[in-house]
Structure 1
Amino acid sequence: MRGRATTATDTTVTRGTRGTEMTTGRPHRGRRAMFAALAAALTLVPASWAHGETLTWAQVKARAAARSPTAVEAKQGARAARAEAAGAGRWPRTNPVLTGGVNLGAPFGHPEDRAFSVGIEQELDVFGVAGTAARASQQKVAVAELEGAVLKLDGLAEAAEAYIELERAQRVLAVWTELDRGFERIAAGTAAASRAGERSDLDAILASAESAGATTELAGARAELARAQARLGVLIAAADPSSLRVAEEPVRPPDARGRDVLVAAALRRRPEVGLWRARLGEAEARRAFAARAALPEPTLGLGVEMEREGTDAAPASPDGASGARHERTQLQITLSVPLPFFDRNQAERARALADASSAGEQGAIAARQISAAVTRAKAAVDASWTALARWQAIAPRLDEAQAMVEKGYAAGQVDLFDTLASAERVARARVQILEARAAYLKARAALSRALGEEP
């Protein structure tokens, strides 16, 4: 508000003064006010909206490795596999069975016949099924850990891209914020000059239109900033994503190694290569377990049977006894063996064999995919570095262009609207420099992911 009042006051002059300005070449006070506003618009200054904690990439990386959705998913998968492996390989694999029975004799036998039996049965592991199950479970743990390593790299690559996007959005917003402020002050000054009769109403309308265009660009930059903050906030579990700010990371030159060297390094480091090997081993372990589990496992039983028999009374018994009872107790040992005629785990063995074949094929495909990913990422890094180097060479000239615009406008050699157009071109050039910088940093992050390295 203070800038607007000053501009309105300084632009109230007489027609005689305007003639003196053009004759002497000294800038008028109203032109000096708009000149100062234009200089502020063309100068890249951090925006006043900045607040909250400023995070470095090291801090974001540490938080993403612990809190991102992919990191949590990786931990859950490994934890579930270890829990399953903790119970595998334990013997006995099945619970013992308690057996018992009572034979009352009636109605087909003697009414006083009685038989009682009690015992326990246990399935025996004579073919090493428990040990085979333990090896299969350990292979599952290895697969889960490698899957977690892949998810971790994916999560860090996504966090790096979100970090770069937020850094770019912050700096783009600073460019459009300062340009919008300058254009707003210039539009206010032009409107005041129009009311004083120094400029036409058309100039005031067009200046307001230029200011509205800068405000539109500013609104778009704010929306991009909010999207970038929300994306990074999810990845690092930020309590208030709207307060997130990130520090500017230095730009390092690209990796000087050739394509073949990079591909060889990627094939050594990428966890996907080991993952398919582990999946192949896990499928073969499951197939071995299914084959062992199809073998008949005997069941051994141990019990005691007590039997009591009653007899009819003897009619010729001299002492008149009605009969006698016979009791006996005997130890029982049983052994049962199932006959594998029908169920031989055919489906599980066939599934494991198919999984092993698929893992072997996918391992060969993964090697080709890694080679292609490295080639593509290396080309993107080289191309984006060339573009960024070109923009970096132009960046100092933008300062010269800014000085030329200021000097020409102050001397009355450049029209107001040509000055505004030049100021907008300078701002857009600065934004394009930021876009080229972000593209190069993203390409470097993609190459790190292709090499199996943390960005």
Structure 2
Amino acid sequence: MRFLIVVVAAATMAAAMPSGVAQADDRPRQRGAAASPAPARGGMVRVSSPDEAVDLALRRSPLVGSAEAATRAARGELRQAGLLPNPELSVTAENAAGTGQYRGARSLETTAELRQRLEVGGQRAARVGVAQSEVALAERELLAARLDLVRDVRKALADAIAARRAVAIEAERARLAQETLRTARERVQAGRDAVLQERRAEVVLSTAELGRQRAERMAELALRVLATLLAADAVELSRSDRWFDQIGSAPDGAGAPQPEEAGANPDFARWNDALQRAQAALELERRRAVPDVTLGLGVRRYRETHDTAMLLSLSVPLPVFDRNQGGIARAGAQLSQAEFAADNARRTIATSLGQARAQLAIAWREANGLRRSVLPAAEQAFGFARAGYQEGRFAFLEVLDAQRTLFEARGQLNEALREFHMRRAEADRLAGVPNLPTQSAGDRR
């Protein structure tokens, strides 16, 4: 049995060496990963600009961390796809514990055989190709997830700033309504106006207070949405929000986007990667139709004569019934499905980009017009009406109309600025414009 012990030990060491090397390579990575703490989440965060909010979100977002983990999983699958099949060791003892001349171990025949399955037909290369396309697709998914987060954070921050300004507008409306009510009471007490004017002023004040309360609740909801995207318990906005008023020059919203412009969208490349993945999967299924070959080499020991003989074996499955017809048909259909989906997605993305640019231009023109002409005119008209009412030259209804016009203009400008930032975030996402930080939550772990 000495030869058997030697064969078993050699085969075991040969099979264990690649695994041992892999484990040795993995240990530094595992230690490094354990040494890096996970990014802190929760608590209170302070945001002063869109760039700061985006940086916080990319470092703290669980969604981005999940996409990065999926990318690492795809790389692990690629590593696994390139490995050779493990050899098989078999030990057989024959003619043992029988009767007559086979009693005990007198006629024992012991065989030790080492088998190795050989993948023929390029299966291993095809499998690696599929895994490589999976890695590329996962990386595109990660980029798309980060860009989606950037868009959502910019939208949520613009919504929060607009909601806070709406609170200020409604508070100013309530303050002016209070002043108007005080003036109306003075005029009623002096006998210059009827009591009806005072009641109207009270109604205006009550309406303004209700509007202020509603705006405060909407502002709280907007902050909650932003806090969710930032993986925080609460968000504190900086007092300075001058970036919200900066809309730049007029964007070009005319014409359909050029192919190279739409091609900057990472979703285009993602669909190309999906097509390559489907093509690689079809090639793999075709390769799997070729059966593998198993070679065996062994040693047989005859105890009765103390002779030793070599064993050679070859095993090849006969592709009589299963030639992977179903797998090839499935992969071919999935490739066709991916081609149709990619063509539809490309058309949809190009159309969406054109619409987003047109809507951005419309939002810019509205915000620019309200800021440059409508709001100044409304402020001037209200100032004249209030001063004239105090002097008795205008009726109370004219003051109320001018006040309503003023605050409608302020609210429209606030909403137009919000809409502009929303549309710009959407257009940038579709065009793949945002410059992302080089590190994020998963990269820093």
How high is the TM-score relative to the length of structure 1?
0.76
**Amino acid in the other structure paired with 1:96:** E
- Structure 1 residue 78 and structure 2 residue 57: aligned? no
How far 1:140 sits from its partner (Å)? 0.8
Match of 1:97 among 64, 89, 92: 89
Match of 1:318 in 2: none
Deviations 1:6-30 (A, max 9, x none): xxxxxxxxxxxxxxxxxxxxxxxxx
CA contact (8 A) 2:356 2:426 kept: yes
Q: Counterparts of 1:328-407 in structure 2 under 5 Å? A: 328-392=307-371, 393-407=373-387
Q: Counterparts of 1:5-24 in structure 2 under 5 Å? A: none
Match of 2:255 in 1: 259
- Structure 1 residue 280 and structure 2 residue 259: aligned? no
Unaligned runs of 5+ in 1: 1-50, 310-325
Match of 1:437 in 2: 417
How far 1:307 sits from its partner (Å)? 2.3
How far 1:188 sits from its partner (Å)? 6.6
- Structure 1 residue 66 and structure 2 residue 45: aligned? no
The structure 1 segments of at least 4 consecutive aligned residues displaced by more than 6 Å after TM superposition are 188-201
Match of 2:205 in 1: 211
Counterparts in 2 of 1:197 and 1:102: CA distance versus 1, 3 Å: farther
Please give the alpha-carbon distance, in whole angstroms, between the structure 1 residues aligned to 2:287 and 2:132: 17
Please give the alpha-carbon distance, in whole angstroms, between the structure 2 residues aligned to 1:347 and 1:247: 61
How far 1:418 sits from its partner (Å)? 4.5
- Structure 1 residue 125 and structure 2 residue 119: aligned? yes
- Structure 1 residue 292 and structure 2 residue 287: aligned? yes
More off after superposition, 136-145 vs 395-404: 395-404
Q: Please state whether the residue corresponding to 2:224 is helix, strand or coil.
A: helix
Please give the alpha-carbon distance, in whole angstroms, between the structure 2 residues aligned to 1:365 and 1:339: 43
CA contact (8 A) 1:89 1:132 kept: no
How far 1:102 sits from its partner (Å)? 3.4
Deviations 1:54-84 (A, max 9, x none): 4211112222333345433432322221121
Counterparts in 2 of 1:247 and 1:123: CA distance versus 1, 3 Å: same
Q: Please state whether the residue corresponding to 1:134 is helix, strand or coil.
A: helix
Please give the alpha-carbon distance, in whole angstroms, between the structure 1 residues aligned to 2:356 and 2:291: 55
Match of 1:235 in 2: 229
Counterparts in 2 of 1:361 and 1:52: CA distance versus 1, 3 Å: closer
CA contact (8 A) 1:279 1:356 kept: no
How far 1:213 sits from its partner (Å)? 0.6
CA contact (8 A) 2:375 2:406 kept: no
Counterparts in 2 of 1:147 and 1:339: CA distance versus 1, 3 Å: same
Q: Provide the aligned C-alpha RMSD in A.
A: 3.0
CA contact (8 A) 1:81 1:141 kept: yes
Match of 2:403 among 399, 423, 443: 423
How far 1:205 sits from its partner (Å)? 4.3
How far 1:426 sits from its partner (Å)? 1.3
Match of 2:441 in 1: none
Please give the alpha-carbon distance, in whole angstroms, between the structure 1 residues aligned to 2:317 and 2:175: 88
**Amino acid in the other structure paired with 1:302:** L
How far 1:269 sits from its partner (Å)? 0.6
Please give the alpha-carbon distance, in whole angstroms, between the structure 2 residues aligned to 1:352 and 1:424: 65
CA contact (8 A) 1:54 1:245 kept: no
Q: Please state whether the residue corresponding to 1:117 is helix, strand or coil.
A: strand
How far 1:272 sits from its partner (Å)? 2.0
How far 1:187 sits from its partner (Å)? 4.5
How far 1:417 sits from its partner (Å)? 5.7
Please give the alpha-carbon distance, in whole angstroms, between the structure 2 residues aligned to 1:154 and 1:265: 21
Total equivalences in the alignment: 387
CA contact (8 A) 1:168 1:435 kept: yes
Please give the alpha-carbon distance, in whole angstroms, between the structure 1 residues aligned to 2:186 and 2:293: 103
How far 1:142 sits from its partner (Å)? 0.7
Larger Rg: 1
CA contact (8 A) 2:159 2:418 kept: yes
Please give the alpha-carbon distance, in whole angstroms, between the structure 2 residues aligned to 1:439 and 1:110: 93
Q: Please state whether the residue corresponding to 1:259 is helix, strand or coil.
A: coil
How high is the TM-score relative to the length of structure 2?
0.77
Please give the alpha-carbon distance, in whole angstroms, between the structure 2 residues aligned to 1:356 and 1:56: 44
How far 1:396 sits from its partner (Å)? 1.5
More off after superposition, 132-141 vs 177-186: 177-186
Match of 1:319 in 2: none
Please give the alpha-carbon distance, in whole angstroms, between the structure 1 residues aligned to 2:225 and 2:53: 12
Counterparts in 2 of 1:80 and 1:191: CA distance versus 1, 3 Å: farther
CA contact (8 A) 2:48 2:237 kept: no
